[in-house]
Amino acid sequence: MAKAIHSMIRVLDGERSVDFYRSAFGFEIADRLDFDSFTLIYLKNDESGFELELTVNKGRSEPYALGDGYGHFAVSVGDLDAEHNRLETLGLAPNRIVEFKRDEVMIARFFFITDPDGYKIEVLERSGRFQSI
């Protein structure tokens, strides 16, 4: 079976992005591969082996167009309210908490936060379907 190991996003300023993901999710640099025209920065934390690969194309000064195909990646946390408050205190402007229900049954509690390049990250509470993720 296939195992998900990383997801890649292109970022304009590698250090700014590393600072954001470190502050927001405790991601640290697992590896950095520097090439002539680009740098790959792999981030992870102790919660899982999954990595976020940041690709920094050298010499680029314009932000990336993210397009109109909405996408995001997600992380899970034990205490959604505390995490939301922590991110607000850091000035990272998380969106409001949403309670997603079907027939009055809670499916998920979550909020979104946006990184410095405009990518959306969903922060889910570990419960229900997302209990063990």
Query: Which residues are known to be catalytic?
Result: 122
Please, are residues 124 and 81 in contact by the beta-carbon 8 Å criterion?
no
Distance of CA 40 to the CA centre of its chain: 16
Q: Is 89 helix (H, G, I), strand (E, B) or coil?
A: helix
Pairing of β 38-44 and β 28-34: antiparallel
Three-class SS of 107-124:
EEEEEEEECCCCCEEEEE
